[in-house]
Amino acid sequence: MVHPPTNDEAPRVLAYVHNRLTRLRPSLRQDLIDHRDILILSLFSEGRTINIVNVYSDDQHTAINLLAERAPTLPACILMTGDFNCHSREWDPSVPHHRTTAISLLDTAARLGLELTLPVNPGPSFLSHNVELRGSVIDLVFITASESLVQPRRLLEWQGPSDHIPLASKFSLPSELEDFKRVSIAKGSNAETQFVEQLIGGIRGICLETPVVYHPPHLTTTSSGSSGNPAEIQQKSGGNPPDIHWILINSLQNN
């Protein structure tokens, strides 16, 4: 899910949502905030709404300031995460100060029902490609108090060529997903043979005068062997968008 480009400005946040969660009707809430640097994703279940916020805030603190302005009108959230480009001793022990922008960010999180939750394996989240610069903590996770006992984790092995270290967080999903199980056909079984035969027969019955190939206008779907990260999407789309912060929303149940 991604905010459509406006005024030739590419979005700088996006979300991948696992198809197991389709029954929760994931929705991009542009009615709440319509900005390329803030993505609010809502899941709907059992009469309640689960709101997740993904943020990229530039060196002018654009997203932090906009969130502070809109916070009184925004609903409670279960998770807010992103690249905030904001330094403070509250989350980085190497920083001696706690300035106005950091104070504003914490206040906004509190208004949304969230609190800062530091990784269980603390350390920098940003490691510059310039080896002369020290690492810093600018990627943050804010979780609702009921979920804060589950600390996020820095996934060092997932960093790849990026100068940011991915963060993984867990939160509870509605009980209605508990009975959702993946349906599959056993490899080498008679059922697999029958399915393939039916599939071949169905394809043979299709007659297309002109092959149709659809390419999404802004993102290229990753194929087998791709990691699905924004760097690959950027390369495949042929574009050169600014730094993109992405969030993967997945159900860990019944794996």
Question: Residue 13's closest CA among 31, 40, 44?
Answer: 40
Q: Is residue 169 part of a domain?
A: yes
pLDDT, tens digit, 9 for 90 and up, residues 185-222: 888 888 888 888 887 777 666 554 444 443 344 333 33
pLDDT at 249: 57
Q: Is residue 220 part of a domain?
A: no
pLDDT over 90 for what percent of the chain? 51
For tokens 């992405």, name the residue. 246
- The C-alpha angle 128, 141, 76, rounded to 5 degrees, equals 145
Among the listed ranges 14-18, 27-31, 113-117, 230-234, which one has the minimum average pLDDT value?
230-234
Helix (H) or strand (E) holding 198: helix 190-204
| Between residues 184 and 9, the one the model is more confident about | 9
Number of domains in the chain: 1
Q: Is residue 230 part of a domain?
A: no
Give the separation between CA 160 and CA 77, rounded to whole angstroms: 30
pLDDT at 242: 46
Q: Is residue 6 part of a domain?
A: no
How confident is the model over 66-81, as a mean pLDDT? 96
- Residue 32 structural domain: 13-179+238-249
Q: Is residue 226 part of a domain?
A: no
For residue 184, report the phi and psi dihedrals to the nearest 5 degrees: -145, 165
How confident is the model over 116-127, as a mean pLDDT? 95
How confident is the model over 152-166, as a mean pLDDT? 92
Give the separation between CA 79 and CA 112, rounded to whole angstroms: 9
CATH of the domain at 155: 3.60.10.10
pTM over 0.75: no
CB 9 within 8 A of CB 240: no
For residue 53, report the phi and psi dihedrals to the nearest 5 degrees: -120, 130
Q: Is residue 5 part of a domain?
A: no
Q: Give the largest Cα separation in the chain, rounded.
A: 70
235 has a pLDDT exceeding 90: no
Question: Residue 62's closest CA among 107, 125, 7, 105?
Answer: 105
Work out the pLDDT band at 183, boundaries 50, 70, 90: low
Q: Is residue 97 part of a domain?
A: yes
DSSP string, 66-117: HHHHHGGGSPP-SEEEEE-----TTT-TT-----HHHHHHHHHHHHTTEEE-
pLDDT at 139: 96
CB 142 within 8 A of CB 130: no
pLDDT at 247: 61
Q: Is residue 118 part of a domain?
A: yes
